[in-house]
A and B are shown apart, each in its own frame.
Chain A
Amino acid sequence: MPRPRYRSRSLRRIQKKTPGGKTKQIYKKRKPKTHKCAECGAELKGIPRLSPAKAKNSPKTKKRPERPYGGFLCSKCAREKLKKEARLEHESTH
């Protein structure tokens, strides 16, 4: 019987081989889910899957691309959004 704190499924169970040749079960924290584009739902690139505690201590530039809508929209959707904005501005001025 595992220890009471390991009975819940909140931790990942991994089968690992020990140096002695036995297989043992070890428990690890689950990784957070990947960030998704708010518009199309595609996985966002350039965003690490960090736990909140680690993300807090890592710099902002390492957590998202350095462009407008970086970390919120994927590059394709961001391009479309910027294009739309530019065209709307053009229409409003002319």
Chain B
Amino acid sequence: MYQIGRVCLKIAGRDAGKKCVIIDVINTHYVMIDGETRRRKCNVKHLEPLGTVLKVTKNAPRTEVVRLFKTLNIELKETKPKKKTERPKKLRKKKIKPAKQPTDKTSGEEEKKIKQIKEAQAPISSEKPRK
């Protein structure tokens, strides 16, 4: 009963009440279907076989199924495969460090020398004034 090309009515699930055709028999319980329903694996318990049998090749492409359903006066929606779009990658925000100013060794030494001279010249404030 459930051979390739048999037109069936889906009686369970969200595709219930829609017609489909068997395009492959997986085992005694499961078949592949396509048509008004989505192209999917299906339990034969969820199908009601109808009288008509179409000439479908095994694992027929969608275009063939659409053409054959036109003979039954059923127009199917032509679905295009989704274009793969790359996910926008999340980039870590890098903190921009302020660039270090180059220090000259020579200038640093000079500054030290100037400091030392100043300290020597300045009066020592830590000493307490005598009474």
Contact = CB atoms under 8 A, between A and B. Distances in A.
B51 A67 contact: no
Interface centre among A66, A67, A75 (most CB of B within 10 A): A67
B50 A82 contact: no
Given A79-B11, A82-B9, A82-B11, A94 B51 contact: yes
Nearest to B46: A79
Interface in B8-48: 9, 11-14, 16-17, 48
Given A67-B17, A68-B17, 13 more contacts: A66-B14, A67-B12, A67-B14, A68-B16, A75-B12, A78-B11, A82-B17, A83-B9, A83-B11, A86-B9, A86-B48, A90-B50, A94-B51
Contacts, number: 29
Interface string A58-91: 0000000111100000010011001100100010
Question: Do most interface residues of chain A lie in helix, strand or loop, or is the interface mixed?
Answer: helix
A75 B45 CA distance: 13
A interface bracket (residues with beta carbon within 8 Å of B)? 10 to 19
A82 B16 contact: yes
Contacts of A75: 12
B6 to A, nearest CB: 13
B51 A82 contact: no
